[in-house]
Structure 1
Amino acid sequence: MTTDEQAQPVFPLPVRGDAYQRADAGLVGQMGQVSSATACAKLHGMGIRRTWMEGPQPLATGQKIAGSALTLQFMPQREDIASGLAQEAVERQTALWAVLEAVQPGDVLVIQAYGSAFSGCVGDMLVRYFKRKGGAGIVVDGRIRDAPRIRELGVPIWCTGTTPHYASQSELFPWAYDVPVAAGGVLCLPGDIVVADDDGAVVVPQATAPEVVATAQDHQEWEVFSRMRLDQGAKLGNYYPLTSESRAEYEQWRDQQRSSQR
């Protein structure tokens, strides 16, 4: 089979999902104040248990993002439809190039790659373009390449590691974008909110985000109070979590703090 024949597969690629609504920018900004741990815990309390993407770790520590999910799906290669033999000559016609043209400011690109150790889903040039388009960060259920240059770019990335391979060099092929993806065992829909920090990446369903924000703010505030009291020598069981007595003490402290800031 020739390269030209591969460029005209029997199944039209790339696949693009239906139009979707990105998360409200104000809501995303509020989610940016919520840690991944708190978001995960609050969603668990709401009955949504699989939200943390197992596998992706920060390429550089100390970074935090929240953004509307823009999704990219890799699929296994099948030579009569799609293979990576022609490298970028073929890849530029795939969902990998197309999804980068769809990036809007604040987007988090979420990539389904099955944890593959042999597919460098994005590299320096693509991440550079992603940054220019205003993307907030990238979460890859798989690997990247050109890690030193990407670190220099400062784009926050969560991935399972690095590889010298290009995206379609081995077993996968960029197939679809703006579609539901499975990343690290978690379902991510286009427009969901992704929160990621040193503890990992968490998917917050868009419809649940207002409740997560509301409950997380109180949770994070009382944890500040509890840390203070523990540092002062208080008993753990009295302040983590709060009892009815320590809750009343916290609320008094909180009101005093807010009054002093007016």
Structure 2
Amino acid sequence: MTQANECENIAELFKGFSACAVANISDNLDRAIGARGIRPFHNGGTMAGRALTVKAAPGDNTFIYQALEIVSPGDVIVVDGAGYEDRALIGEIMANIAESRGAAGFVLDGSIRDVDAISSKSFPVFARNVIHLGPYKGGVGKLNVPVSIGGMSVNPGDIVVGDSDGVTAFGPDIASDLLKATRRQQAKETDILASIANGTYTGAYSK
């Protein structure tokens, strides 16, 4: 496969997963893979993209700025902030920078601020909490290393999907089969909802 074809295939996967519910994706990951305590703060919509991972010192956003210097279109900036909630890792300015550079969104195991501005826009921002206190500067960190987000492991290049229910991530090697399975489940659930609406539902459903 040429690089152009590979990029086209990845873009199609992102598009496919952006039309899937995270709950259905999670069901087809044995209901075992998902970030706990991470929720959306933006104005709705599904995020799907490729993980650009950041290991940050608790409450410190030095390496998030470094990630913004190398972010590519379609990247989700995934920040392991160790779940530290007492300092905001990003706010309106950093979210706008990421959006302007084509990022697909932010996922932070930590806090954010400027929540009114972030919640007024559709650019995806998932985080643990909100606090007005700004970040520390000059801390240690790493880019493109395995990280943990709400107890979920994320590797550089993983596909990350988020919606109103939360965030999940998985390797690109299983993405094609996972998308097919998720679509089958969603079609089945659509049929079930139709049968409930028209009075023909029999109660026989399991996943």
Q: TM-score range by the shorter chain?
A: 0.7 to 0.9
Match of 2:12 among 26, 35, 50: 26
Deviation at 1:241, TM superposition (A): 3.5
Tell whether the 8 Å contact from 1:167 to 1:173 is kept in structure 2 after alignment: no
Q: Name 2:129's counterpart in structure 1.
A: 161
Q: Name 2:41's counterpart in structure 1.
A: 59
Q: How many aligned residue pairs are there?
A: 201
Tell whether the 8 Å contact from 2:76 to 2:104 is kept in structure 1 after alignment: yes
Per the alignment, do residues 152 and 227 of structure 1 end up closer, same or farther by CA in structure 2, a change over 3 Å counting? closer
Q: Name 2:94's counterpart in structure 1.
A: 126
Could you tell me how far apart the structure 1 residues matched to 2:78 and 2:58 are?
18
| TM-score, normalised relative to structure 1 | 0.70
Which contiguous aligned blocks of 4+ residues in structure 1 show a shift greater than 3 angstroms?
none
Instruction: Report whether the alignment pairs 1:222 with 2:188.
Output: yes
Match of 2:84 among 91, 109, 116: 116
Alignment of 1:38-187 (within 5 A): 38-44=24-30, 49=32, 51-60=33-42, 62-76=44-58, 94-168=62-136, 173=139, 175-187=141-153
Q: Name 1:36's counterpart in structure 2.
A: 22
Greater per-residue strand proportion = 2
Q: What's the RMSD between the two structures over aligned residues? A: 2.4
Per the alignment, do residues 173 and 44 of structure 1 end up closer, same or farther by CA in structure 2, a change over 3 Å counting? farther
Describe the SS at the equivalent of 1:60.
coil
Could you tell me how far apart the structure 1 residues matched to 2:92 and 2:169 are?
25
| TM-score, normalised relative to structure 2 | 0.87
Q: Which moved more, 1:154-163 or 1:221-230?
A: 154-163
Per the alignment, do residues 235 and 212 of structure 1 end up closer, same or farther by CA in structure 2, a change over 3 Å counting? same
Could you tell me how far apart the structure 1 residues matched to 2:86 and 2:152 are?
21
Ranges in structure 1 where 5+ consecutive residues have no aligned partner: 1-20, 78-83, 85-90, 243-262
Could you tell me how far apart the structure 2 residues matched to 1:57 and 1:231 are?
31
Tell whether the 8 Å contact from 2:111 to 2:130 is kept in structure 1 after alignment: yes
Deviation at 1:167, TM superposition (A): 2.2
Describe the SS at the equivalent of 2:168.
strand
Q: Name 1:256's counterpart in structure 2.
A: none
Instruction: Report whether the alignment pairs 1:202 with 2:168.
Output: yes
Describe the SS at the equivalent of 2:119.
helix
Describe the SS at the equivalent of 1:110.
strand
Larger-gyration structure (1/2) = 1
Describe the SS at the equivalent of 2:83.
strand
CA-to-aligned-CA distance 1:185-220 (integer Å, 9 cap, x gap): 010001101110011001122111111011111111
Identity %: 27
Deviation at 1:67, TM superposition (A): 0.6
